[in-house]
Structure 1
Amino acid sequence: MKLSKFGEKLTSHSGILSLMDDLGNALADNDHMIMMGGGNPAHIPEVEDVFKQRLRRITESQSEFTRFIGTYDPPGGDQSFCRELAAMLRRRFGWKLTERNICLTQGSQTAFFMLFNMLAGENAQGEKRVIQLPLAPEYIGYSDTGITEGLFAAARPDIKEIDTHTFKYHVNFNTLTVNDNTAAFCVSRPTNPTGNVLTDQEIETLDSLARQHNIPLIIDGAYGLPFPELVFTEATPHWDEHVILCLSLSKMGLPALRTGIVVASEEVITAMSAISAITSLAPNSAGALMVSDMIRDDSIISLSQNVIRPWYEERMAFARNELHQQLGNLPWAMHKPEGAMFLWLWFKDLPVSSLELYEKLKQRGVLVVSGHYFFPGMQDDWPHKNECLRVTYTRDPAVVKQGIAIIAEEVRKLYQG
């Protein structure tokens, strides 16, 4: 089969494909693999009970059941959901928006594929524009979304060492490059993979730069604000006309329903709806219908704050303590865990690459993710990129404890030669 450039680009090896393949293989061999690599949300009984009750009400209502499985929504998604969400965002945050500022997509990954290729790449004049990632490391799923090569630009972050085994990345505004080729800024908050939450001041500075250069500021809030609020530090939700805020229902506990939410200017929403019509006719109805009542009465916020966030924060604290106990005084550090569902480990002067360590752990039955995948757009040969691992802590504590023990054992072997 002869492939086009588009076909070759999207079928070649990529970090996100490797991750999803490993997750699929591990699920098929669930008895033997300790899953500490993926981003699948936890199965929280109290949350699943809420969705079971909602699903029961949908199936008992003929009109809602028909909407759930048997009716196309408009290309921008269920407009009644968009109206309710706009009303909630106005009510809680005072944002000046309507349903015309919101559209739905088939998950966040689809939203970013649309946004990045809509804004960046080669324009009609033959000029190449890029998405600027102000804070690398960044989400593995961004890397291969560009139809054209070289869609991203990134520079090294500032590293603030908080104590012997804790550090935090900050945006290095001195090296942040913005010019005529910059199509947009994009940040995830909290950041996948590190759990970093950009401070309000960093967001405000990026906002000001975006306004100054007349470019969008894209905020990936899949783990963040206002829901599912996997944020363990102080942070304020942020949106304005030039901000493109991307949300998701996946980390609420609904990943199989593939529902992404984009809050942006009417111009952006109109463009994305047009692309959606061509590529998929319309997003699915199920996700919007499942949470519409929760949007209407704000219970999506209380569920996030009172159930989902505390559950993850407790599991994070357990894993963090286990890492300190197991890794001890080895030359390691962990990014300050401020949100999301990952711990980002830095093994200083690691004797092998993080990819080699990943392979060793995989052979031992522990699945993590090599850190080298998370630096899209960073061209320099920075050793730090090959010294980090992303570890998921959402499994049963006994399983997490076992996995961390194996990680510590393998790392100790490497440092001891």
Structure 2
Amino acid sequence: MQLSTWGHQMSRPSGIRSLMEDIATTAGSSGDGTGANLSVGNPSPIPEVLETWQRLSAAALATDFPESGGHYGPSRGTHSLVDAVVRYFNAAYGWSIGPENVVVGPGSQMLCFVATTLFTGPTGPTGPAGSGHRPLVLPCVPDYTGYQGLNLVGSATVGVGATVVPHGERSFRYALDADALQQVPDMGMMLVSSPGNPTGRSLTAAELDTLIDTVERHDALLVVDHAYGRPFPMLTGDALDPVHHPRVINCFTLSKAGLPGERIAFAIGPADAVSAMVSFMANTVLHAPQTIQAVVERALDSGELDVLTQKVISPYYRDKRQAAEALLHSLLPDDVDWRLHEGDGGMFCWLWIDHEWFDDLDFYRLLKEEGVFIVPGRHFFGTAGVPGLPGHATRCFRLSLSGELPDLERGFKRIGALLTLLRDRSHEADPV
């Protein structure tokens, strides 16, 4: 069987997907309950969240299933959900959107793939600056590793490394490198998660303005993925409100609000761009699953999604983050230069070990032997580096906070012990 150029690109295993397979195989075979999987991106199974979605799903199945499950529907999304989205966002943010600004899809990653395919890639000899293609630009790397597999042409994705800003002794923060971004000669679309995966970092208002100014200059689009942000699930308290702008497509998903397996999301953007996305949906998946659309419509119109976000989900992750930070400060060695990316809640901790002896993949492999799983940092950088910090991408790793606190404590203890061991080995190899 001969794969096409696009086939080779889309069939190749990504680094993090290979790791996930490795983790699933290894963790499944051990089964002794002594390890700690700190790699998963699944949201925590919060009882109140599960109960709410089960109840709303039961109501939708009882009332709506003959229509939603027994008939094909519109590619834009069911009229009832699209109308509910319009009502919700116009009321919450004072927008004036209509159904023409909304498209529902099977997950935000699919919607990001649709947008990337539509607005980046080959443009022919008449393309801007004679480039022949307009790339997808990730303007503040590290960012969600899944973005690196969206482009049918792998070389058409450009990552712009963030600037690292240390704070105090144990924390740091990434900042948009506006100067580096201005050096990108062309783009068809920019894509950014805010708050971000893996860091939990939200764009500032000034950074968002810079991104919008940049896409306007390039006659391009900005896609902002709000998977962790406002108005739901609001896992970090410092997330910016979404902005309605003729150059911005906002993606929203219910995955981190408790429905990761249902693959339901929607995008809001300029009508002409959304219309192209609706056509793409019609030509590929036809439409998103409809019974879950009826469930989400109920959650929006009843206000229960806001209640879950504000009263349950957001406080849960804020408290979990505070507990995790306290554990890290108590369990990681004082004489190792480790730094935690600043955050206000979120599903992850992003750690930077600022030593030449540290390598993220080696660290992953050594921890795996002890039944502890993390995600190496390099998979969130793609080919982008961080100016002035050679090796930074291989000195970071991501920890998930989805597990119970005893699991986190057990995993953090082993991380601290391994860091101490590696530090001691480096001193033996290079005595002062």
Q: 1:385 is matched with which residue?
A: 393
Q: 2:428 is matched with which residue?
A: none
* Amino acid corresponding to residue 112 of structure 1 in structure 2: C
Regions of 4+ moved over 6 Å: none
Contact in 2 for aligned 1:190/1:196 (Cα 8 Å):
yes
For residues 19-72 of structure 1, what are the alpha-carbon distances to aligned partners after superposition, in whole Å with 9 as ceiling and x for unaligned?
4424543663455442211210111101111112112222332xx122343222
For residues 209-235 of structure 1, what are the alpha-carbon distances to aligned partners after superposition, in whole Å with 9 as ceiling and x for unaligned?
333433211101011111111122263
CA distance in 2, matches of 1:203, 1:175: 15
CA distance in 2, matches of 1:67, 1:36: 41
Distance 1:409 1:216, change over 3 A: same
CA distance in 2, matches of 1:24, 1:73: 36
* Amino acid corresponding to residue 89 of structure 1 in structure 2: F
Please give the secondary structure, in 1, of the residue aligned with 2:276: helix
Contact in 2 for aligned 1:105/1:260 (Cα 8 Å):
yes
Q: 2:362 is matched with which residue?
A: 356
Q: 1:312 is matched with which residue?
A: 317
Please give the secondary structure, in 2, of the residue aligned with 1:134: strand
* Amino acid corresponding to residue 421 of structure 2 in structure 1: K
Shift of 1:368: 0.9
The one of 49, 67, 70 equivalent to 1:47 is 49
Please give the secondary structure, in 2, of the residue aligned with 1:71: coil
Q: 1:279 is matched with which residue?
A: 284
Contact in 1 for aligned 2:318/2:346 (Cα 8 Å):
no
CA distance in 2, matches of 1:13, 1:85: 35
Q: 1:35 is matched with which residue?
A: 37
Contact in 2 for aligned 1:140/1:374 (Cα 8 Å):
yes
* Amino acid corresponding to residue 410 of structure 1 in structure 2: L
Please give the secondary structure, in 2, of the residue aligned with 1:294: helix
CA distance in 2, matches of 1:335, 1:187: 18
Shift of 1:4: 2.0
CA distance in 2, matches of 1:251, 1:379: 29
> Percent identity of the aligned residues?
28
Please give the secondary structure, in 1, of the residue aligned with 2:352: strand
Shift of 1:385: 0.5
CA distance in 2, matches of 1:276, 1:187: 22
Shift of 1:241: 2.0
Once the two structures are superposed, the pairs formed by residues 366-405 of structure 1 within 5 Å of their partners are: 366-378=372-384, 382-405=390-413
For residues 77-107 of structure 1, what are the alpha-carbon distances to aligned partners after superposition, in whole Å with 9 as ceiling and x for unaligned?
2121011111110111011211111111111
Contact in 2 for aligned 1:243/1:264 (Cα 8 Å):
yes
Contact in 2 for aligned 1:196/1:339 (Cα 8 Å):
no
CA distance in 2, matches of 1:203, 1:371: 25
Please give the secondary structure, in 2, of the residue aligned with 1:293: helix
* Amino acid corresponding to residue 220 of structure 1 in structure 2: D
Q: 1:270 is matched with which residue?
A: 275
The one of 241, 254, 258 equivalent to 2:259 is 254
Please give the secondary structure, in 2, of the residue aligned with 1:150: helix
1:113 paired with 2:77, answer no
Q: 1:220 is matched with which residue?
A: 225
Contact in 2 for aligned 1:95/1:240 (Cα 8 Å):
no
Shift of 1:16: 4.0
* Amino acid corresponding to residue 116 of structure 1 in structure 2: T
Contact in 2 for aligned 1:130/1:181 (Cα 8 Å):
yes
Contact in 1 for aligned 2:86/2:97 (Cα 8 Å):
yes
TM-score (norm. length: structure 1)? 0.94
Please give the secondary structure, in 2, of the residue aligned with 1:415: helix
1:131 paired with 2:133, answer no
Once the two structures are superposed, the pairs formed by residues 18-417 of structure 1 within 5 Å of their partners are: 18-22=18-22, 24-25=24-25, 28-29=28-29, 31-32=32-33, 33-61=35-63, 64-125=64-125, 127-177=132-182, 181-233=186-238, 235-329=240-334, 330-378=336-384, 382-417=390-425
For residues 358-390 of structure 1, what are the alpha-carbon distances to aligned partners after superposition, in whole Å with 9 as ceiling and x for unaligned?
111112111110000111341679300100001
* Amino acid corresponding to residue 252 of structure 2 in structure 1: L
Please give the secondary structure, in 2, of the residue aligned with 1:160: strand
Structure 2 stretches of 5 or more lacking a match? 426-432
Structure 1 stretches of 5 or more lacking a match? none
* Amino acid corresponding to residue 360 of structure 2 in structure 1: S
Contact in 1 for aligned 2:136/2:151 (Cα 8 Å):
no
Distance 1:302 1:374, change over 3 A: same
Contact in 1 for aligned 2:193/2:226 (Cα 8 Å):
yes
CA distance in 2, matches of 1:85, 1:78: 11
After alignment, is 277-286 or 377-386 more displaced? 377-386
Contact in 1 for aligned 2:137/2:160 (Cα 8 Å):
no
* Amino acid corresponding to residue 298 of structure 1 in structure 2: G
Distance 1:241 1:23, change over 3 A: farther
Contact in 1 for aligned 2:57/2:292 (Cα 8 Å):
no
Shift of 1:350: 4.3
Q: 2:9 is matched with which residue?
A: 9
CA distance in 2, matches of 1:376, 1:34: 27
Shift of 1:117: 1.8
Distance 1:377 1:225, change over 3 A: farther
The alignment yields a C-alpha RMSD, in angstroms, of 1.9
CA distance in 2, matches of 1:110, 1:139: 14
Contact in 2 for aligned 1:224/1:340 (Cα 8 Å):
no
Contact in 1 for aligned 2:135/2:158 (Cα 8 Å):
yes
CA distance in 2, matches of 1:359, 1:239: 44
Contact in 2 for aligned 1:131/1:186 (Cα 8 Å):
yes
